[in-house]
Structures are given as C-alpha cells and as structure tokens.
C-alpha cells in the first residue's frame, strides 16, 4: 500500500513539474509575409492578410520575426492580432512611419506574456549605425532589429534578433553573417538569444556556414530539436508549391542557452492559396 501511494505521489509530482516546464516553453516563428505588391494579383496582401494572421494565431506563436513587412501590413496584423505588440524600424529611413511606405524586419510579441526591456536596429553594412546604409554589393539597405524581453511566467530574460539578408549580393550576405555573429555576441553576451530571418541562402552556402561555424555561438534549431522536424525541408513556395525542393532559406538559430523542443516548416494552404511566397518556420523552445 505504501509503495502504491509513493508511486502515485511521485507520478503526480513529475506531472506537475513537467506541466510547469511546458508552460514556460516559448513558440518562436520566422515568417516572411511578402511585401504588399499590387502586381501579385490574386496574391496581393489584402487577399492574404487573414491567412497570414491565422497562421500566427492558430499556431499560438508567442514571438514572430517578420520579414518584408511594410508599415501598412504591420497595421493590418496589429488589428487582426490585438494581443500582440511589435518593434521595428524601416530599413530606408529608420522611422516607424516611412514616406513612402517600405519594409521592416519587425518582431511581434505577446503583450500578456512578455515585457519589453530594450530594443534597437542596426544596418547590415560597413556602417551598421548609419541609418539607411547599404552594405557591400547589396541591392537594398538591410537591417537587423532586435528586442530584449522578460518572460512574465518564468522571469527569464532573452534576446530576439530578426533579419532579412539581401537577395542579390553574395558578398553582402557573407559579410552580414559575420556582422551578426559579432553583434549578437556583443549585445546578448551570455544571455539566451534567438535569431530568425530570411537569409536568402541554403545550408551549403557561405553565410549559413559562417552562422553555424564552431565559435559562432549559434546553431540551426532544426538539428537541435528533441522531436524530429515536421514538414517539408524547404521554405520557399512562390505561391505555387508547399516547399520548393532545395530552397530552405528561412531559419531559426539559437545559442547554447536555448533548448529546442520542436521544429517545423508549416506548409498550410487554403484551396491552393498560400499566406505568403515563403513558408513560416516554427520552433518551440525553452530557456535555460
């Protein structure tokens, strides 16, 4: 009788501990939502915004690194997802209300879950603190926006960095990767850190190798996941196919203060329609 009671007590205790740990898990998403381009026709943003918001809402993302998000699109998501706040600056002028409208690498986060402690943006260029600077052989100005959050559930603090590498400049992508490794180390130090983004490179390319090299402090969340990866091994849809083979260009990276429970690339579509020309990447993480 005593053994049964002890077993029941031990089981209940372990279940409580397990539940408590799960409650502290954080669901991180990286999502290139495709800028609002009228030339996209049926895939123009007004026809996709509810789908994009639904991807975030249904998957219960706690924090989302967005790419190609124009201010008008951020306003739409803020209206559709009232439980979220966001931080970001426009890549062209460093403002929150650019004229004309342009792209942000903004970070969405749950208002009720996190407290914003700090935030900043730097440019992926030879002059990272110069607003609007274009680096190396890049076609466009590119940025990294980051935030420091405190999790109200666990009290733990962490950093989230979010980027969009240039689509043309090979040198710019490689140099941007080097700059990121340096800046993340300087800003986050020994704290937990997450990096999301559209890196416009596949795992065999130089920027990926730089980001995951020994000594970089970063690792691809897909390969750290305790539960095997779910979904296609590609993040490009082109509004046509749920994961074009060989096109994994969107990632979630973490440092060694972050454990990865799950990892997925989400290939949802509605009657052949996609929320974006990229597939969202989702990871469930736990801070050490």
pLDDT in tens, 18-68: 444 578 999 999 999 999 999 999 999 999 999 999 999 999 999 999 999
16 located within any domain: no
4 located within any domain: no
271 located within any domain: yes
Q: What was the pLDDT predicted at 31?
A: 99
Q: What was the pLDDT predicted at 254?
A: 98
CA 70 – CA 90 distance, rounded (Å):
8
Q: What was the pLDDT predicted at 154?
A: 98
Q: What was the pLDDT predicted at 22?
A: 77
Higher pLDDT, 98 or 6: 98
Among candidate residues 24, 35, 81, the one with its CA nearest the CA of residue 56: 81
CA 72 – CA 146 distance, rounded (Å):
20
- Whole-model pTM: value is 0.93
User: Which residue range forms the structural domain that includes residue 184?
Assistant: 25-287
- pLDDT more than 90, % of the chain: 92
Region 71-100 average pLDDT? 98
Higher pLDDT, 218 or 7: 218
Q: What was the pLDDT predicted at 9?
A: 46
Residue 46: is it exposed, middle or buried by C-beta count within 10 angstroms (0-12/13-18/19+)?
exposed
15 located within any domain: no
Q: What was the pLDDT predicted at 12?
A: 42
Mean per-residue pLDDT over the chain, rounded = 94
Q: What was the pLDDT predicted at 11?
A: 44
Does pLDDT of 113 surpass 90?
Answer: yes
Number of domains in the chain: 1
Does pLDDT of 215 surpass 80?
Answer: yes
CA 201 – CA 247 distance, rounded (Å):
8
> Where do the DSSP E strands lie in the chain?
26-32, 63-67, 69-70, 84-87, 103-104, 107-110, 114-123, 143-151, 157-164, 193-198, 219-220, 250-254, 258-265, 281-287
Least confident of 4-18, 33-47, 81-95, 252-266: 4-18
Give the domain CATH number at 214.
Answer: 3.60.10.10
- pLDDT more than 70, % of the chain: 93
174 located within any domain: yes
Does pLDDT of 164 surpass 50?
Answer: yes
User: Which residues neighbour 66 within 8 Å (Cβ) at sequence distance 6 or greater?
Assistant: 31, 32, 33, 74, 77, 86, 88, 104, 105, 106, 107, 108, 162
104 located within any domain: yes
Q: Is the dihedral of CA 51, 88, 222, 226 positive or negative?
A: negative
Q: What was the pLDDT predicted at 14?
A: 41
Residue 80's pLDDT band (cuts 50, 70, 90): very high
């Amino acid at each position: 009788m005593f053994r049964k009671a002890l077993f029941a007590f031990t089981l209940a205790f372990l279940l409580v501990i397990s539940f408590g740990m799960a409650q502290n898990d954080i669901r991180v998403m990286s999502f290139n939502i495709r800028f609002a381009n009228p030339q996209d026709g049926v895939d123009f943003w007004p026809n996709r915004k509810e789908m994009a918001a639904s991807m975030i809402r249904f998957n219960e993302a706690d924090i989302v690194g967005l790419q190609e998000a124009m201010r008008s699109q951020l306003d739409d998501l803020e209206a559709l997802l009232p439980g979220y706040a966001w931080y970001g600056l426009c890549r062209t002028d460093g403002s929150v209300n650019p004229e004309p409208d342009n792209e942000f690498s903004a970070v969405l986060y749950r208002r009720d879950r996190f407290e914003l402690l700090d935030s900043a943006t730097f440019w992926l260029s030879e002059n990272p603190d110069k607003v609007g600077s274009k680096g190396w052989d890049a076609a466009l100005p590119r940025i990294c926006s980051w935030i420091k959050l405190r999790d109200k559930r666990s009290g733990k603090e962490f950093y989230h960095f979010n980027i969009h590498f240039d689509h043309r400049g090979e040198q710019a992508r490689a140099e941007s990767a080097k700059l990121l490794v340096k800046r993340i180390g300087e800003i986050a130090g020994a704290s937990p850190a997450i990096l999301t983004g559209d890196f416009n490179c596949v795992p065999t390319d130089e920027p990926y190798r730089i980001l995951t090299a020994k000594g970089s402090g970063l690792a691809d969340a897909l390969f750290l996941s305790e539960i095997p990866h779910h979904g296609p091994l590609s993040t490009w849809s082109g509004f046509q196919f749920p994961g074009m083979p060989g096109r994994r260009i969107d990632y979630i990276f973490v440092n060694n203060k972050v454990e990865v429970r799950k990892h997925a690339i989400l290939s949802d579509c509605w009657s052949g329609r996609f929320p974006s020309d990229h597939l969202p990447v989702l990871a469930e993480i736990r801070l050490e």
